Amino acid sequence: MSDNLRSDFPFFSNNPALVYLDNAATTQKVQCVIDAMVDHMTKDNSNIGRSLYPLSSNAEKKVEDARLTAARFINASKEEIIFTKGSTEALNIVSSSVCAENADKGKNVVISVLEHSSNYAPWLRDCKKHNLILRIAENEDDLISFIDENTAIVSVTGMSNVTGFMPDIGRICGYAKQKGALSCIDASQLAAHRSIDVKDIGCDYLCFSSHKLYGPEGVGVLYSKQQDMSHLVPLCLGGGAVDSSYCTKEGHPGFEAGTQNIASIIGFERALKYLIRNYNHIKDTENELSRYLYRKMSELKGFSLVCSEPSLICSFTSSFLSSHDLGVLLGNKGICVRTGSCCAHSLVRKISEGGICRVSLSFYNTKDDIDALISQLEEAQKRYGGSL
């Protein structure tokens, strides 16, 4: 990868010896994002939607510009974008709303075993609370077969945070529509690596988080088709979300109670623009890195890959060390990977009771990063693997 993009991230100049391979958990922040946030907080800081003076109006315009950029990022309209604290809040809004609307009606909800806890736990809770049947599919074909005329909603990941597998979400959403069901896509991992067109996918809801897209923590997006926003009920009410009669405002304002994370929203927009501007280069670089990682990992002895083809997310197990011990060993050598269940408990339990190690790449990684990982895994095998 050309150094000009890696150099856009001050984290690496401040940590030159660190190999960061945990990008599925959170990504590093691009300099233009940091600059935009500092600029707002030091020059234009004010609240929005409450005052008429120019400072406040300017801040409000920046937030609405960010809403428009987020909409363009997924080919939606500005009115269909709700700012949330992240994908977790977004999925909780959808789950609590749809399940309450369909309480005690003999309805079912369909998800997959691939789901992150944020798209698993809310459905477990809300289906139980409102007496819906939760159907959990082992694979895509099973998922399709589980959808019927009594399905209220299908909610699936766009990209597994454990295997990197990307189900055919267009097919799934299209079939759900045929059966009269709503559809929701958790694009937390997908959004960083693939272009998203909600019109092409045909989903009713979709969410993603800023901190997985080189932006700040604490902000994300819930996309809702305008006609489907009526199915949603806000988790929180307060200032800005209600009118003078304390009735919930229509559209996205009704879901954005209280003071928004203004600086982070502004930073989020810069991250999205950065991704849009560099998309082709990013995609080419990530494809090359994923192929290189898969080839190198496949050549190792004593390790079993979870993925069956090149992916930006490569999880594996060791025959001679627990995932925890391996993670500590690598961490002590300055190599950051994720270990354990990766917040996908049901899926990982099927793979290994002892958890997994996960390497997740970004375009700012290099082949040198991968070589450093491989070198340490080879050293671990020699030290602990015996005659494997």
**Long-range pairs of 286-290 with CB within 8 A, sequence gap ≥ 24:** 286/193, 286/312, 286/361, 286/362, 286/363, 288/1, 289/1, 289/361, 289/363, 289/365, 289/366, 289/367, 289/370, 290/314, 290/361
Just list the catalytic residues: 343
β-pairing verdict for 313-318 and 303-305: antiparallel
Q: How many CA atoms lie within 13 A of 314 on its CB side?
A: 26
Instruction: Measure the CA–CA gap between 163 and 140, rounded to whole angstroms.
Output: 14
The one-letter amino acid at 88:
T
Give every CB contact of residue 300 below 8 A, 6+ residues apart in sequence.
374, 377, 378, 381
Q: Tokens 């896509």 — which residue?
A: 185
Buried b (16+ CB within 10 A) or exposed e, 20-55: bbbbbeebbbbebbbebbeebeeebebebeeeeeee
CA distances for 267 relative to 7, 38, 81, 270, 279, angstroms: 18, 9, 16, 5, 18
Structure tokens at 177: 């529509």
CA-CA-CA-CA dihedral for 237, 243, 249, 252, to nearest 10: -70
| Residues facing residue 82 across a β-bridge | 222
H helix runs in the chain, sequence order: 3-6, 10-14, 31-39, 54-73, 87-101, 121-130, 140-146, 169-178, 198-201, 262-277, 279-298, 323-332, 345-351, 367-384
Q: Whole-angstrom distance between the N-terminal and C-terminal Cα of the chain?
A: 34
Give every CB contact of residue 40 below 8 A, 6+ residues apart in sequence.
59, 62, 262, 263, 266
Instruction: Measure the CA–CA gap between 355 and 342, rounded to whole angstroms.
Output: 8
